[in-house]
Amino acid sequence: MSTDELRETLRVMWGSVAGSWEEHAAFVDERGAAATARMLELAAPGPGDRVLELACGPGGAGLAAARRVEPGGSVVMSDLAAEMTAIAAARARDLGLENVRTRELDLESIDQPDDTYDVVLCREGLMLVPEPDRAASEIARVLAPGGRFAVAVWGPRERNPWLGLLFDAVSAQIGAPIPPPGRPGPFSLSDADALTALLSDAGLAGVTVTEEPLPMPAASFEEWWSVVPALAGPLGNVLAALPEDAREGIRARAEEGLREYETPAGLEIPGVSLLASGHSR
């Protein structure tokens, strides 16, 4: 598969799972609340700023930024999949946010002029593109002089068992690695030094990368199972295509793997995000 074919495959795939992201949008916002707050602290959008959210999904980071840029500022929430931007647009309307627009934009080829935005945000999207170096260069290009950015990606797989254990269970069941070789995945940019170099080499300045603990609480395994597979992108489609006995095997493996995180209040599963920030040159 060529890189362009892979991009199109990913666009269709993310569009196909948009319904699950709409259903669980409140969970996605809550799950990412600490990372979003830290991103906004680092990028510091303020009144009059022009903000671009990339790979917005249901739009959590962009929606959170919208009030901060009033009066006079604006937010564009963008995603490769039109099905995702439709969800983000509906949520903005429901909140009465009149300074928010949506666009279908490719993170690796942002169809916007140079120097357009004062702030660029991307929460959990940069690691999912075929060529993240190209995407980072695009972020640098659309940032205006003095513009700031904040990017969140997932840290190492072994430190994110809330999702890594699901990948492990599927891999063990089907006898093949997840994600497949050559495909981007949630842990593709999990090395802090490599992430720093990627963004710096793209022309961004003052790049710093810090860790943000993001444990995932769940009242029970059932709650975890009802949400995480539904939001796991291509993995959700893999699960849906498997026979029932295979899915039950995956479920059993995942439940066994998560037992060590049981507490009297439910599950408390570790997680960590890497937050990168800096500014234009």
Cis before residue 179, ω within 30 degrees of 0?
A: yes
The packing angle between helices 3-16 and 82-94, to 10°, is 40
Task: Identify the three-state secondary structure at position 149.
Answer: strand
* pLDDT for 60 beyond 80: yes
Cis before residue 71, ω within 30 degrees of 0?
A: yes
* pLDDT for 178 beyond 90: no
The 10s digit of each residue's pLDDT in 209-265 is: 999 999 999 999 999 999 999 998 878 878 888 999 999 999 999 999 999 999 999
Per-residue three-class SS string for 60-105: HHHHHHHHHHCCCCEEEEEECCHHHHHHHHHHHHHCCCCCEEEEEC
* pLDDT of 265: 95
**DSSP code for 242:** S
The 10s digit of each residue's pLDDT in 35-59 is: 999 999 999 999 999 999 999 999 9
